Every structure is written in structure tokens, then in C-alpha cells.
């Protein structure tokens, strides 16, 4: 199962090393990891997506992270209402014939062409994991020359959605 | 969020060097003794030590220094403090740090480092100690600015000794130790990311009380958490008031009196039949401060299959890690048991269970074979118990001798048992005994070691000779890596690959070379007379005991087998 976890940490030297080291030690697989400063000076936020086998391992990930002295808060936001975004830069091969076609493909994704060369264009797209995957699939037939992705960063929404999946929470069942 | 450290500024009148500040900080932490070994990068620290009254124990190898600090920390109720130089000095500590991490021992380890200006240039005796020790410490620090040193030392002692104890390392570059400044000492720590929870959730404690009332086959599993929390008294009260039998883990030995009728012995791979079957059949397993290590549980599928599991642990990450837990209680063992005992507890209706357990205890006692010449290692341990009234501090390495000590010594009180459990480190026992003897100079301290493990740290004979430390070294000599040999006999069709060590020094002469009395005994009568003569003496002694070379540790749970699938249960 895939979990999205945010970790706020004291911005001490080596803190990222501590966390990735922990993942190696406990054999947790990281799919993506992003780090950056937060609104508070000296505190950074790490967002990572991790693949774990079962709920027990997912719980261990959170608990082991929590044990780190420099870690202030660990939250598994997978089941919350979140906004999750990733940026991808995609260099696609073009010919004069396909250039317009590519433009049409990327338009619904609100992606932009940020660099044009004789035989390729560079496309920038921002979105959640699935959206970027979908666009890459559509572009693949044209020939993707290079691809660079930032990994996901995420925040929980200001207001959480109403509980709709009653079976998960219901006392009525 | 306030991530700054609250400081209570106490500016000192005169400026001091980083090394002097280091000494002052140690004094503030009430450190009485440090274990270490000097070298280039820690010369400034040792120079400051030269002019100050903190006692320094000079081991002959850094590994022994840290094992001694572990032995000290296990029984002294204070953290062990270690100093080693950069590079090889620091890397020689790695085994000890890992050992302390696995067995939750409070250590504060200081390593020298090359000067800040050359860090990262592969300078002479440089090693990335922070990187190397990150996964094996509870936390580690590199001092980049002298101003931070007092805060870091305060935090390190706090982190090492609170919550689940563990080793903390501080790496001090040489130039930091020589820089002069006007330091500000701190007394309080503010670590927003480190808030160990000591007080149990009342609802969970209530749940446990209810579970006890309803249990038909209740059992307490007591681990080292009981010892760390100083909760032996509460454990005894709970067991006696509720009339619940108790099993110890290897590291929990001594938390419950071994001669108590409710005591079932140690559980696990070489635990008693009674203890393991009790875990297997119990319907309520109350784990207090044990971490469900694989050597205890055997195959997890067959571990306590019928039981409702309650787990009291100060480390939330241990709860549910290996075994599904129904009643999780994150708390200090003492506080949790106190809260539980305050409730109106109902004794479980478990007469049938008690009877069964009692019958097992009578029917399946520990046993030893009688078909070989030489000293019976089991009876030898019983003799040591008898000669020392069961009061000695016992240390061991890992292996057969460790299991015999655990099975046969019979620990009746806490703080007498020092062994390398989680990491299983050969060469641990002898230096650990040195640390224990430093903590308790007047007590009988016995290092039970195998002939192979002893050869890993025997250079410390020099240290006990120098200090005339009355450590007693009892070598369980079977001219082999006994446990490896046992496994090769049992699981590898007697192919004794690299496990037999017939070529060994004359241990008596070796001891004498250091000016230490040495004895070699090969019969039980000889052994008993030498033990009686020497164990309670005030000088170091080495006794080379020729035990039956083929004797095996039983009973045993084979790797991959469940608790109920023990072999060697009866002769």
C-alpha cells in the first residue's frame, strides 16, 4: 500500500540523512521525497510517499520516524482531504507535424511549453501523481527524450470533507 | 513552534577552552568515572582531564572501554561515559554502541574529530563518525561551534537516560576543544521533538484490569523495562496479589525473584519448558517492558496464539512491532504498574492454570547429561550460585555459557545480571565486569566467559592487574565456540566448520604473566574448592574450568519452530 506522510523536522544538519537512513535500516521503500523550508524559520517539512506491505509496517514507519529527536511531527495524510502536487519537466521529440498535436494534448492538463528547440520541446506540468502519469503516457508515443520529476509535496485542505464512506466509520454498519 | 533552547544563563567569570568546558559539563552531570583511550584528536580533552579529578579508566582497547561503560551503566543507575579519539578510536567503539542501542543502555560517548577546517578532506585519522553511528545511536551530535557544547552535553545526558535509554554520541573536532570562550551553561533542555511518555492512559490500564479479572490463563512476561523503571517491587506485588505466574526474558532476569513459587524461568529459545508452554497456552499475556524479540517468540505464528496481549512499554514503536497487541500501554513500567495496583483488582479464576503450570515445573525441570568426563557446566553454575549466595554480579558474553548462567544462576534481585542480549557480542563479559566492579568495588563480580569470547578482549587483564580490581574470571572452557558447535552438531550433521579451538594459550600462565592468580580445574571437586577459596576474595582471579566439551544447552527451540516445538525437553 502507498502512504503519503509529512514530517516536520528541526532543520539540523544531517536530519534528512537520519530519515533516509532509517528507511534503509527498516527496509521501507521510498517512492518519492521532497524537502523544503516551512513558514517557521528553522523548521523544514518533508513529504514522502512510501510503499509498505501492510498496516503494521505503515504504523512502524510513523513510530520509527517519531522516535527521531529532530522530528517534531509525523502525519500520515493519505486518508485525509489533501492537495498533493508534483512538478514534471518533460522533453519530447517533435517534428513540424507533431508540434501542434502535442500542444493540443497538453492543453487540458494546463501544462506549458517552456523551451523550444529544433527537434524537441520542454513541457512543464504541475499536478497530482495520476495527472502527471496520464500526461506522460499520452506523450510517450512521440518519444520522451528526458524526464525529471520533483516528487510529491502535499498539504491537508483547510476544511476536511464530510465523512461519506459510512462503512468505514459507521456505528450503524 | 519554539525550537530554541531555553537557557538559564550563568556566565562564568573566566574564559575557558572547549576541553575545560567539557570537563565542567561532565561535573555538572555528576560524572564520577569515564572509560576511554587517548589519541591525537582528543589530546586537549585528556589534557583537561589531567588537571581535573574525574576518574578515568584506561582500557587497553576502545571496544573494552565501551563494554566496561555498558557494564557500569547496567548496574550503577547512571550513564556510562566513554572517550575515544577520532578515526580508529571511534570505529573501535561501533560494536559497543550497537550493543548499548540494542539493550537500551544509557551511554554518552565522546569522540575526537579532526579540526573543523579539514573535515571532509580524508585527513589523518578522520572517519565520518556521525554518519557511521547515526543508525546505532539514539541520537548523535557533531559540535560545530563551541557555544553549543554545553547545550549539547546537557541534551545528550538527558536523551541517553530518559525514556527508553540508549547511547548518544558527541563528536568534538580538535579545534573546538582548544578554542577559548566564555561559555553559558544550560540547566534545562527544550527538545520539542523528544517528549517520552511516562504516564499510562488510564482507560488502557482499566482495560488491563478487566482482562485480568476475566483471564483463565494469565501470565506475566517481564523484561528489562521492569529493571530500567525500577519496578521490581510493583511487579512482585502484582504477581502475588493476582497470583499470576511470571516468565522473564533473558535481559529481564532479576526483575522477579528466581526462587519465588510463581516464577517459571526464562522464556525463549533456551527457556524452560514451563515458561514457553505457559506463553503458548496463556489466554492473557501481560508483557511488561519486553520487546518480543525473535529469540523469545520463536516462530511468530505459534507465539501465544490464544492470548489477549497487553504490552506495557515506554517505547511506542515496540508495541505492535512483532506481535499484535490488544491492550497497548505506552508508559514507564513503574508508573503503569502503580496505576494498575491502585485499581480495585480482581484475582483471576485460574486455579486450574496454576496447577498445570506447577505440574509442568515439577515434571519438566532443566536437566543435564551425565555421559561425559569433565565438569558439568550446569552444576558449576549452581556451585557458583551457592558459593556467592546468589548475590554476585554476573556478566557474560554470548553463547552456551551465557545460557547456562541465565538458566542456572537464579537471580533473586535486580542489578546483578549483565549480558549482551540483543546484539550477542562475544568479548563483552570481561570488560563489562570491569565496569560493574568500578560501580560496586566491594561486591563480588564474576565474568562468566567462554574460552573463545575471552580471547577477544583478554587484553584487559592488564587493566584489572593495574587497578587490582577483584574481578573473577571463570572460563567455561570447552575448546570450542560452544554454541556454534552445538548448532553444527544439530543442524549441520556434525560438520564442525571453524568452531573448534584446541590451540589456546595456557590461561593460568597468561594470568600469571599479568601478575594475576590463575587456576585450572578439570573436576567438579577441584572446581568447588577453588571457587570457595577465591570467589569472595579481594583480588582478581582467573579460573580455567574444563567443562564437558560436548554438553549442549537444552531445551531448545529450533530456528523457525514455535514455542511448543521444543527439543531436548527431557533427558
H helix runs in B147-271, sequence order: 149-161, 174-178, 202-214, 224-228, 232-242
**Do residues B414 and B446 share a domain?**
yes
Q: Which three cell numbers stand for residue B398?
A: 554470548
Max Cα–Cα distance, chain B, nearest Å: 75
pLDDT band at A171 (very low <50, low <70, confident <90, very high): very low
Question: Would the CA dihedral through B158, B161, B164, B167 be positive or negative?
Answer: positive
Q: In total, how many domains does chain B have?
A: 3
Contacts of B130 in chain A (CB under 8 A): 14
Dihedrals φ, ψ of B151, to 5°? -65, -45
- Set of chain B residues whose Cβ sits within 8 Å of the Cβ of A69: 138-139, 159, 191, 193-194
Residues of B in CB contact (< 8 Å) with A are: 1, 3, 130-131, 134-135, 138-139, 142, 144, 159, 191-194, 315-317, 320-321
Q: Encode pLDDT of B387-417 as tens digits.
A: 999 999 999 999 999 999 999 999 999 999 9
> How high is the pLDDT of residue B151?
96
Q: How far is CA B218 from the centre of its chain?
A: 28
For B4, name the nearest residue in chain A, comparing CA atoms only.
A42
Distance CA B565, CA B20 (A): 59
The region of weakest confidence among A57-66, B8-17, B401-410, B440-449 is: B8-17
H or E segment and range at residue B21: helix B18-28
How high is the ipTM of this complex? 0.90
Task: Give pLDDT, residue B8.
Answer: 53
Query: How far apart, in Å, are the Cα atoms of B232 and each of A147, B38, B50, B278, B415?
Result: 61, 39, 41, 21, 11
Give the per-residue pLDDT at A173. 36
Q: CB within 8 A of A173, min separation 6: which ones?
A: A167
3-state SS of B107-161 is: EEEEEEECCHHHCCCCCCCCCCHHHHHHHHCCEEEECCCHHHHHHHHHHHHHHHH
All residues of chain A having their beta carbon less than 8 Å from the beta carbon of residue B194 are: 69
State pLDDT tens for residues B309-340.
Answer: 999 999 999 999 999 999 999 999 999 999 99
- A10 contacts B134? CB cut-off 8 A: no
Residues B423 and B344 in one domain: no
Q: How far apart are CA B448 and CA B225, in angstroms?
A: 24
- Closest to B224 measured CA to CA, from B297, B165, B158, B275: B165
B428 to A135, B444, B541: CA distances (angstroms): 59, 18, 18
Please check whether residue B472 is in contact with residue B437, taking contact to mean a CB–CB distance below 8 angstroms. no
- Spatial separation of the C-alpha atoms in residues B459 and A16, rounded to whole Å: 40
Contact B49, B214 (CB under 8 A): no
A69 contacts B317? CB cut-off 8 A: no
Give the confidence band of B6 by pLDDT, cuts at 50, 70, 90: low
Percent of chain B beyond pLDDT 70? 98
Can you tell me which residue has the cell 522516535? A67
Per the CB < 8 A criterion, the answer to whether A15 and A70 are in contact is: yes
C-alpha cell at B78: 547512571
Contact between B134 and B142 under an 8 Å Cβ cutoff? The reply is: no
Instruction: Please tell me whether residues B542 and B441 are part of one structural domain.
Output: yes
Q: Is B518 exposed, middle or buried (0-12, 13-18, 19+ CB in 10 A)?
A: buried
Q: Phi first, then psi: what are they for B369, rounded to 5°?
A: -80, 160
CB spacing of A63 vs B134 below 8 angstroms: no
- Domain ranges (residues) in chain A: 2-76, 83-154
Nearest CA in chain B to A12: B141
Helix (H) or strand (E) holding A72: strand A71-76
Asked if the Cβ–Cβ distance from B194 to A14 is below 8 Å, we say: no
**In the prediction, which pLDDT does A159 show?**
86
Q: What is the span of the domain harbouring residue B214?
A: 202-363
One domain, residues B255 and B177: no
- Residue A166 phi, psi dihedral angles, 5° rounding: -60, -35
Residue B16 CA to its chain's centroid (Å): 37
3-class secondary structure for A99-165? HHHHHHHHHHHCCEEEEECCCEEEEEEEECHHHHHHHHHHHHHHCEEEEEECCCEEEECCCCCCCCC
What average pLDDT does the structure give for chain A? 91
Position B364 scores a pLDDT of: 96
**List of chain A residues whose C-beta atoms are within 8 Å of the C-beta of residue B139:** 69
Q: Same domain, yes or no, for B359 and B407?
A: no
- 3-state SS, residue B16: strand
Interface test with A, best of B3, B113, B129 (most A CBs within 10 A): B3
Helix or strand run (H / E) with residue B294? helix B294-297
Known catalytic residues of B are 62, 124-125, 174, 483
| Cβ-contact B266, B248 below 8 angstroms | yes
3-state secondary structure at position B91: helix
pLDDT band of A163, cuts 50, 70, 90: low
Residue B262: per-residue pLDDT: 98
3-state secondary structure (DSSP) of residue B10? coil
Instruction: Could you please state the CATH topology (level 3) that the domain comprising A83-154 is classified under.
Output: Alpha-Beta Plaits (3.30.70)
Q: Compute CA distances B209 → A94, A151, A160, B213, B339, whole Å.
A: 72, 48, 37, 6, 10
Least confident stretch, A48-62, B81-95, B379-393, B517-531: A48-62
| Beta carbons of A60 and B139 less than 8 Å apart | no
- Give residue ranges of A with CB < 8 Å to any B CB: 9-10, 13-14, 17-18, 21-22, 25, 40, 42-43, 56, 59-60, 63-64, 66-72
Q: Measure CB to CB from residue A69 to each of B139, B315, B316 and give the nearest one.
A: B139
User: What would the mean pLDDT of B62-75 be, rounded to a whole number?
Assistant: 98
> pLDDT grade, residue B183 (50/70/90)?
confident
What radius of gyration do chain A's Cα atoms show? Answer: 20
On whether the CB atoms of residues B167 and B107 are closer than 8 A, the answer is yes
B187 pLDDT tier (thresholds 50, 70, 90): confident
Model pLDDT, residue B13? 53
Residue B196 above 60 pLDDT?
A: yes
Q: What is the pLDDT of residue B298?
A: 96
Residues 6+ apart with CB under 8 A from B448: B381, B384, B394, B395, B396, B401, B402, B405, B429, B474, B476
DSSP string, B321-336: TSS--SEEEES-HHHH
C-alpha cell at A10: 528541526
Contacts of residue A158, Cβ cutoff 8 Å, sequence gap at least 6: none
pLDDT digits (tens, 9 = 90+) for A111-147: 999 999 999 999 999 999 999 999 999 999 999 999 9
Beta bridge partners of B248: B222, B266
Q: What is the CATH number of the domain that holds B317?
A: 3.40.50.1220
How much is the pLDDT for A172? 43
Percent helix, strand, coil in chain B (nearest 5)?
A: 40, 15, 45
Average pLDDT over residues B546-550: 96
Q: Please give the pLDDT value at position B537.
A: 94
- Mean pLDDT, chain B, rounded, equals 96
Please indicate, yes or no, if residue B197 is contained in any of the structural domains: no
Q: Is the pLDDT of residue B12 over 60?
A: no
**Cα B401 to Cα B396: distance, rounded to the nearest angstrom:** 7
One CATH from 3.30.70.260, 3.30.830.10, 3.40.50.1370, 1.10.1200.10 for A2-76? 3.30.70.260
Cβ atoms of B511 and B461 within 8 Å: the answer is yes
3-state secondary structure B444-502: CEEEEEEHHHHHHHHHHHHHHHHHCCCCEEEEEECCECHHHHHHHHHHCCCCCCCCECC
N-term to C-term CA, chain A: 25
Q: Answer yes or no: do A66 and B159 touch at CB < 8 A.
A: no
Residue keyed to cell 542480549: B421
Q: Which three cell numbers stand for residue B566?
A: 521444543
Is residue B71 assigned to a domain?
A: yes
CA-nearest residue to A66 within chain B is B193
Judge if B228 and B173 occupy the same domain.
no
Cα–Cα dist B348/B218, whole Å: 8
What does each C-alpha distance from B299 to B323, B483, B558 come to in angstroms?
11, 20, 9
Domain contains B306:
yes
What CATH number is attached to the domain comprising B128?
A: 3.40.50.970
| pLDDT band, residue A164 (cuts 50/70/90) | low
- Rounded to 5 degrees, φ, ψ at B500 are -100, 135
Residues of B in contact with A56 (CB under 8 A): 320-321
Q: At what angle do helices B62-76 and B429-439 cross, to 10 degrees?
A: 50
pLDDT of residue B372: 84
Which residues is A89 bridged to in the sheet?
Answer: A124, A148
Cα separation of B383 and B447, whole Å?
Answer: 15
User: Is B568 in a helix, a strand, or coil?
Assistant: coil
Grid cell of B36 as nine digits: 576511554
Within 8 A by CB and 6+ apart from B299, the residues are B560, B561, B562, B563
What average pLDDT does this structure show over B460-464?
98
What's the CA gap between A94 and A99, in Å, rounded?
Answer: 6
The string of DSSP letters for A20-56 reads HHHHHHTTPEEEEEEEEE-SSTTEEEEEEEEE-SSHH
**pLDDT of A166 strictly over 50:** no
Question: Using a CB-CB distance cutoff of 8 angstroms, which residues of chain A are in contact with residue B193?
Answer: 9-10, 68-72
Q: Which residue has the cell 556434525?
A: B494
Q: How confident is the model at residue B2 (pLDDT cuts 50, 70, 90)?
A: very low
Query: Are B426 and B522 members of one domain?
Result: yes
Per DSSP, what are the bridge partners of residue A111?
A: none
Paired strand residues for B396: B448
Shared-domain flag, residues B324 and B383: no
Q: CA–CA separation, B183 vs B111, rounded Å?
A: 21
Query: A2-76 with A83-154: one CATH topology?
Result: yes
What is the chain B residue with the closest CA to A39?
Answer: B1
Name the domain boundary from B125, B152, B181: B181
What count of CB pairs under 8 Å joins A to B? 46
How, if at all, do strands A112-116 and A120-127 pair? antiparallel
Q: Residue A155's CB: how many other CB atoms inside 10 A?
A: 14
Distance from CA of B197 to the nearest CA of A (A): 12
Answer whether A18 sits within 8 Å of B134, measured CB to CB: yes
Amino acid at each position: 500500500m502507498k502512504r503519503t506522510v509529512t514530517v516536520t523536522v528541526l532543520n539540523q544538519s544531517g536530519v534528512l540523512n537520519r530519515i533516509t537512513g532509517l528507511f534503509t535500516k527498516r527496509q521501507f521503500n521510498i517512492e518519492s521525497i521532497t524537502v523544503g523550508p516551512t513558514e517557521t524559520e528553522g523548521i523544514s517539512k518533508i513529504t514522502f510517499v512510501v510503499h509498505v506491505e501492510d498496516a503494521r509496517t505503515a504504523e512502524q514507519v510513523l513510530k520509527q520516524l517519531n522516535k527521531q529527536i529532530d522530528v517534531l511531527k509525523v502525519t500520515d495524510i493519505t486518508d485525509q482531504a489533501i492537495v498533493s502536487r508534483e512538478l514534471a519537466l518533460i522533453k519530447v521529440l517533435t517534428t513540424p507535424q507533431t508540434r501542434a498535436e502535442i500542444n493540443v494534448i497538453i492543453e487540458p492538463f494546463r501544462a506549458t511549453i517552456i523551451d523550444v528547440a529544433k527537434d524537441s520541446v520542454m513541457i512543464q506540468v504541475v499536478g497530482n501523481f495520476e495527472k502527471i502519469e496520464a500526461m506522460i503516457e499520452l506523450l510517450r508515443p512521440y518519444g520522451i527524450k528526458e524526464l525529471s520529476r520533483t516528487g510529491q509535496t502535499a498539504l491537508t485542505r483547510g476544511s476536511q470533507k464530510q465523512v461519506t464512506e459510512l462503512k468505514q466509520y459507521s456505528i450503524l454498519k | 513552534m519554539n525550537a530554541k533552547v531555553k537557557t538559564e544563563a550563568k556566565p562564568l567569570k573566566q574564559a575557558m577552552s572547549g576541553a575545560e568546558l567539557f570537563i565542567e559539563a561532565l561535573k555538572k552531570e555528576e560524572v564520577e568515572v569515564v572509560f576511554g583511550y587517548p589519541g591525537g584528536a582528543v589530546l586537549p580533552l585528556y589534557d583537561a582531564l589531567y588537571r581535573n579529578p574525574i576518574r578515568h579508566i584506561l582500557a587497553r582497547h576502545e571496544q573494552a572501554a565501551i563494554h566496561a561503560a555498558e557494564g557500569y551503566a547496567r548496574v550503577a543507575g547512571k550513564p556510562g561515559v566513554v572517550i575515544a579519539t577520532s578515526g580508529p578510536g571511534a570505529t573501535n567503539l561501533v560494536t559497543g554502541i550497537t550493543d548499548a542501542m540494542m539493550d537500551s543502555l544509557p551511554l554518552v560517548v565522546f569522540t575526537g574529530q579532526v579540526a573543523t577546517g579539514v573535515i571532509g578532506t580524508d585527513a589523518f585519522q578522520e572517519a565520518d563518525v556521525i554518519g557511521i553511528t547515526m543508525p546505532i545511536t539514539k541520537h548523535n551530535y557533531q559540535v560545530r561551534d563551541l557555544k553549543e557544547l554545553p547545550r549539547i552535553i546537557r541534551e545528550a545526558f538527558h536523551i541517553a537516560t530518559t525514556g527508553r535509554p540508549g547511547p548518544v554520541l558527541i563528536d568534538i573536532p580538535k579545534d573546538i576543544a582548544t578554542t577559548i570562550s566564555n561559555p553559558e551553561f544550560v540547566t534545562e533542555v527544550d527538545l520539542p521533538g523528544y517528549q517520552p511518555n511516562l504516564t499510562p492512559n488510564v482507560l488502557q490500564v482499566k482495560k488491563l484490569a478487566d482482562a485480568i479479572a476475566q483471564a483463565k490463563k494469565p501470565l506475566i512476561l517481564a523484561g528489562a523495562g521492569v529493571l530500567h523503571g525500577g519496578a521490581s517491587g510493583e511487579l512482585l506485588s502484582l504477581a502475588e496479589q493476582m497470583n499470576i505466574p511470571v516468565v522473564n526474558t533473558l535481559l529481564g532476569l532479576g526483575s522477579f525473584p528466581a526462587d519465588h513459587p510463581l516464577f517459571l524461568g526464562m522464556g525463549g529459545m533456551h527457556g524452560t519448558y514451563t515458561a514457553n508452554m505457559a506463553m503458548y497456552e496463556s489466554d492473557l499475556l501481560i508483557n511488561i517492558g519486553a520487546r518480543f524479540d525473535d529469540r523469545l517468540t520463536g516462530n511468530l505464528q505459534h507465539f501465544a496464539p490464544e492470548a489477549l496481549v497487553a504490552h506495557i512499554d515506554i517505547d511506542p514503536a515496540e508495541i505492535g512491532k512483532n506481535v499484535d497487541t490488544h491492550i497497548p500501554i505506552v508508559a514507564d513500567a513503574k508508573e503503569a504498574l502503580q496505576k494498575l495496583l491502585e485499581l480495585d483488582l480482581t484475582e483471576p479464576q485460574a486455579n486450574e492454570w496454576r496447577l498445570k503450570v506447577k505440574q509442568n515445573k515439577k515434571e519438566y525441570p532443566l536437566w543435564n547429561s551425565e555421559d561425559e568426563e569433565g565438569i558439568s557446566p550446569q552444576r558449576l553454575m549452581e556451585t557458583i550460585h551457592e558459593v556467592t549466595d546468589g548475590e554476585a554480579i554476573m556478566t557474560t558474553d554470548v553463547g552456551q555459557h551465557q545460557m547456562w548462567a541465565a538458566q542456572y544462576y537464579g537471580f533473586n534481585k535486580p542489578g546483578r545480571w549483565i549480558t549482551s542480549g540483543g546484539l550477542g557480542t562475544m568479548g563483552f563479559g570481561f570488560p563489562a565486569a570491569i565496569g560493574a566492579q568500578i560501580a560496586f568495588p566491594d561486591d563480588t563480580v564474576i565474568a562468566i566467559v567462554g574460552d573463545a569470547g575471552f580471547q577477544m578482549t583478554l587484553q584487559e587483564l592488564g587493566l584489572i592487574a593495574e587497578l587490582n580490581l577483584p574481578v573473577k574470571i571463570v572460563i567455561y572452557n570447552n575448546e570450542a565456540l560452544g554454541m556454534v558447535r552445538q548448532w553444527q552438531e544439530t543442524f549441520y550433521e556434525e560438520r564442525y566448520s571453524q568452531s573448534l579451538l584446541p590451540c589456546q594459550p595456557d590461561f593460568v600462565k597468561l594470568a600469571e604473566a599479568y601478575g594475576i592468580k590463575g587456576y585450572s580445574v578439570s573436576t567438579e571437586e577441584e572446581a568447588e574448592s577453588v571457587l570457595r577459596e577465591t570467589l569472595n576474595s579481594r583480588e582478581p582471579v582467573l579460573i580455567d574450568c574444563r567443562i564437558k566439551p560436548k554438553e549442549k544447552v537444552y531445551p531448545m527451540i529450533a530456528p523457525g519452530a514455535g514455542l511448543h516445538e521444543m527439543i531436548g525437553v527431557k533427558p
